[in-house]
């Protein structure tokens, strides 16, 4: 498979990893559509890549997801590839920090229910005589949860389970289901929300690497040393590893 002459939808495509995919895929001759909540950021992305098409869509809102696919159908756009990339995280100690119920639902929906609803729409509109690609952007927190980010960790773990289930359901079809676990990558989420001061991957470089791996047939891609270490800890020392992750993450994000 080559990413050429495909029609691609990227959620959260105005910044970070999503925008990295948009840049690379547009250069490769694809029709790239991005979504996001903020019109100003979508327009700024289009200013940098004039060929981009954008639709405002909050993936935590089921009505906006339905409306997005209604607009795509009205415009005569059939997607070949979807990147479920949009995501949000939180720092939440349930003992001391109340969160409104609506905020809990919004965060879970953004990371899990939204991608599931988007994927169902994508499958229903796809030309099943062609090769179709569902690419879910996961996280290392799906390998081992970060206790101070319980909603992010649990929803992304759910996305991992959904991806595995979907791959089995679609195994005899022309749908390809891929999960990508990025390393720490330059973005507001990484530098501001998670206060990561280590060396970060460049989103344009990393996403080009991902594209090449998908083209080669890779179904699961978690290239970082950290992902490999977390996988080992989960298998060998699950209880101790979880306590260690909690201690280290609290020190990083709360200090």
* pLDDT one-digit tens code per residue, 207-242: 999 999 999 999 999 999 999 999 999 999 999 999
Closest CA to 130 of 119, 120, 138, 122: 122
For the range 163-168, what are the long-range contacts, defined as Cβ-Cβ under 8 Å and sequence gap of 24 or more? Answer: 163/136, 163/138, 166/119, 166/134, 167/219
pLDDT score at 191: 55
What gap in Å lies between CA 207 and CA 181, rounded to an integer? Answer: 11
What gap in Å lies between CA 253 and CA 247, rounded to an integer? Answer: 10
Task: Report percent pLDDT > 70 for the chain.
Answer: 95
Whether pLDDT at 24 is above 80: yes
Which sign does the torsion angle of CA 16, 229, 196, 249 carry? Answer: positive
Task: For 167-215, write each residue's pLDDT tens digit.
Answer: 999 999 999 999 999 998 876 665 555 555 567 889 999 999 999 999 9
Q: What average pLDDT does the segment 58-76 reach? A: 97
Q: Which CATH class is domain 7-254?
A: alpha beta
Closest CA to 104 of 92, 115, 95: 92
Task: For 93-135, write each residue's pLDDT tens digit.
Answer: 999 999 999 999 999 999 999 999 999 999 999 999 999 999 9
Which sign does the torsion angle of CA 208, 212, 215, 218 carry? Answer: negative
Instruction: Tell me the whole-structure pTM to 2 decimals.
Output: 0.92
Question: Could you tell me if residue 16 is left (phi over 0), alpha (psi between -120 and 50 degrees) or otherwise beta?
Answer: left
Whether pLDDT at 72 is above 70: yes
Helices 150-169 and 101-108 cross at an angle (nearest 10°) of 40
């Amino acid at each position: 498979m080559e990413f050429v002459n495909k029609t691609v939808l990227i959620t959260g495509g105005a910044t970070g990893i999503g925008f990295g995919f948009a840049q690379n895929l547009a250069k490769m001759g694809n029709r790239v559509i991005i979504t996001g909540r903020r019109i100003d950021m979508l327009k700024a992305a289009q200013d940098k890549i004039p060929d981009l098409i954008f639709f405002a869509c909050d993936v935590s809102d089921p009505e906006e997801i339905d409306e997005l696919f209604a607009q795509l159908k009205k415009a005569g756009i059939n997607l070949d590839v979807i990147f479920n990339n949009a995501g949000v995280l939180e720092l939440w100690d349930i003992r001391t920090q109340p969160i409104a119920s609506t905020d809990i639902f919004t965060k879970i929906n953004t990371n899990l229910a939204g991608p599931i609803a988007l994927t169902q729409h994508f499958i229903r509109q796809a030309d099943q005589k062609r090769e179709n690609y569902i690419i879910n952007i996961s996280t290392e927190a799906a390998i081992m949860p970060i206790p101070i980010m319980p909603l992010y960790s649990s929803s992304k773990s759910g996305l991992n389970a959904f991806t595995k289930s979907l791959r089995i359901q679609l195994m005899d079809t022309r749908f390809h289901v891929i999960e990508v676990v990025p390393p720490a990558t330059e973005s507001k989420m990484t530098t501001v929300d998670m206060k990561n001061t280590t060396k970060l991957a460049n989103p344009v470089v990393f996403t080009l690497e991902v594209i090449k791996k998908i083209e080669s047939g890779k179904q699961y891609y978690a290239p970082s040393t950290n992902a490999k270490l977390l996988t080992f800890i989960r298998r060998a020392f699950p209880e101790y590893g979880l306590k260690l992750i909690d201690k280290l993450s609290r020190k990083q994000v709360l200090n």
